[in-house]
């Protein structure tokens, strides 16, 4: 039962992190484009904002791909790829906490915290389980 719950949480986090790239890059930008276009920011600053914006979207996609890549080893029980998942989970959890506090406790940022905790918790649970998920 522990492996099943860990698997569901791992894939919930993996899918939402991966889809976050789409949400950020194609949906989230809609509310930001207009205000930035009408701002008095210098053109080079606006350019950097867009570079960073799409870099973040790409990073979410890469993190999701890395979690998908790590899954076969985690599901069999070896620990060889668990480090990747743990680093991504820690990064998301720390980002969630920092952004939640910095934003004045905006609840949206707790999503990142929970995604990170799901990845960390499920990875540890899959590591400590004696029985592989698939044979």
Quote the pLDDT of residue 75.
82
Q: How many residues does the chain have?
A: 135
Residue spans of the domains in the chain: they are 2-128
Instruction: Output the pTM of the full model.
Output: 0.89
Nearest to 74 by CA among 15, 119, 36: 119
pLDDT at 109: 97
Sign of CA dihedral 63, 68, 69, 71: positive
**What is d(CA 122, CA 75) in angstroms, rounded to the nearest whole number?**
11
List the chain residues with pLDDT less than 70: 77-78, 130-135
Give how far Cα 106 sits from Cα of 23, 26, 91, 93, Å: 18, 22, 19, 15
pLDDT, residue 133, reads 57
Which tens digit of pLDDT belongs to each residue from 82-100?
A: 999 999 999 999 999 999 9
What pLDDT is attached to residue 43? 94
């Amino acid at each position: 039962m522990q492996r099943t719950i860990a698997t569901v949480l791992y894939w919930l986090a993996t899918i939402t992190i991966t889809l976050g790239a789409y949400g950020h890059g194609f949906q989230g930008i809609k509310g930001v484009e207009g205000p930035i276009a009408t701002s008095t920011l210098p053109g080079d600053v606006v350019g950097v904002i867009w570079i960073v914006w799409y870099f973040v979207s790409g990073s979410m996609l890469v993190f999701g791909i890395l979690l998908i890549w790590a899954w076969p080893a985690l599901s069999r029980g070896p620990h060889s790829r668990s480090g990747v998942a743990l680093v991504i989970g820690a990064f998301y959890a720390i980002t969630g906490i920092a952004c939640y506090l910095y934003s004045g406790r905006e609840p949206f940022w707790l999503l990142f915290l929970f995604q990170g905790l799901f990845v960390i918790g499920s990875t540890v649970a899959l590591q400590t389980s004696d029985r592989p998920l698939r044979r």
